[in-house]
Structure 1
């Protein structure tokens, strides 16, 4: 039986519903939330190294419950968070209200951002690009909103599980970067789409994830020079 063809908007709505459902328990997993001071300090060290001297105007895409957004604010950046899931955003806002930081969170589509050209010094995204039906379009959009000389920083991975994630059975074939990519392949993907000086390093320290990760994790950056 042939699977009905889905539009990008169909896929996005499926993704939105999936992450809305995940929002309530998302931070309970140490690979998503921050569960200890050791984990928090490990992430702050990574982000200080890769995001540059603060303060930078930072847009955290696919911000979810605001985990990385808050870490970026703690390093001194001026942060805005964007996510497709209303439930995730509500939890992000609740989290920030309990801190001394001020972060604006907005609903938005990572492939079509309602942001002006050159509005940010830095774009970050953790485990986002694999969820997008048109990642090439997303990279172009992220370059548009980052000023020349700015940076895009991605936290990504490569997994190769025998079955699709629960909730992604119907759409995984519609996501070009589903299952993630080895860092060499993602670096080539970014360079082919105009990012300069693309570099990466592994993120396999158990302190970052609360346990030894069961698949390849890494951080990658590229500079916007157009």
Structure 2
């Protein structure tokens, strides 16, 4: 059971409904979508640095409308995107149809993936872990589907706003990493979950977000033990 007596499935249903409702407008936010060539190039630079030489087999978990998935494909990687929100996935698939990229999108639960053991070289996730009722299970799953010696690449942050996000009022206490986490705290969490060589870099460049960041944002990576 989770913090306020709701099951994890109850919490996930609320999360799904929230993001289904956000799908139409998600990319309109400059912090989520890509709104200029300069912003796109900035993200390609960050992702290229941390994902390594293509082609890597990458599972983009919590892929949403496919923003990161398509950038990874542009870098030359073999990408599969997974999300719990059917509405988000519809928009991701529409983007692929309008592009010259090849990305497969599947509906899936970040804490209970359908993918096989050791099927990927990398798992990527952007601003996902705070939405999960059992983040420890998620990290275990992500390591399971990545080959030994592979890597998790997480784009995360710490906001700690005074007001609870609209739509999360009834469940935020059931999300252990709600509000994100400071760099050092998430790094310690990943190390506790068995990841090795955990390192990170702040993502403070305004070009990445289309505006000056209003909270701490960073990329954090960790290696799956061999």
Q: TM-score range by the shorter chain?
A: over 0.9
Cα RMSD (Å): 0.9
- Taking structure 1 as the reference length, what is the TM-score of the superposition? 0.98
Deviation at 1:4, TM superposition (A): 6.2
Q: In 1, Cα distance between the equivalents of 2:166 and 2:119? A: 37
2:187 partner SS: helix
Change beyond 3 A, Cα 1:55–1:4? closer
Unaligned runs of 5+ in 1: none
Q: In 2, Cα distance between the equivalents of 1:203 and 1:196? A: 21
1:143 corresponds in structure 2 to 143
Q: In 1, Cα distance between the equivalents of 2:33 and 2:74? A: 15
Whether the 8 Å contact between 2:4 and 2:173 is mirrored in structure 1 is no
2:14 corresponds in structure 1 to 14
- Taking structure 2 as the reference length, what is the TM-score of the superposition? 0.98
1:110 corresponds in structure 2 to 110
Q: In 1, Cα distance between the equivalents of 2:64 and 2:50? A: 20
Q: In 2, Cα distance between the equivalents of 1:116 and 1:59? A: 11
Q: In 2, Cα distance between the equivalents of 1:179 and 1:97? A: 34
Deviation at 1:62, TM superposition (A): 0.3
1:208 corresponds in structure 2 to 208
Q: Please list the CA deviations of residues 11-48 of structure 1 after superposition, one character each: whole Å capped at 9, or x if unmatched.
A: 00000000000000000000000000000000000000
Q: Does 1:196 align with 2:196?
A: yes
1:24 corresponds in structure 2 to 24
2:219 corresponds in structure 1 to 219
Alignment of 1:2-151 (within 5 A): 5-151=5-151
Whether the 8 Å contact between 2:152 and 2:224 is mirrored in structure 1 is yes
Q: In 1, Cα distance between the equivalents of 2:188 and 2:197? A: 11
1:34 partner SS: coil
1:173 corresponds in structure 2 to 173
1:24 partner SS: coil
Q: In 2, Cα distance between the equivalents of 1:139 and 1:187? A: 12
Count of aligned positions: 224
Q: Please list the CA deviations of residues 170-216 of structure 1 after superposition, one character each: whole Å capped at 9, or x if unmatched.
A: 00000000000001000000001100000000001000000001000
Q: In 2, Cα distance between the equivalents of 1:106 and 1:44? A: 23
Q: In 1, Cα distance between the equivalents of 2:96 and 2:11? A: 30
Deviation at 1:149, TM superposition (A): 1.1
2:17 partner SS: helix
Deviation at 1:163, TM superposition (A): 1.3
Unaligned runs of 5+ in 2: none
1:182 corresponds in structure 2 to 182
Runs of 4+ in structure 1 deviating by more than 2 angstroms, as ranges, are none
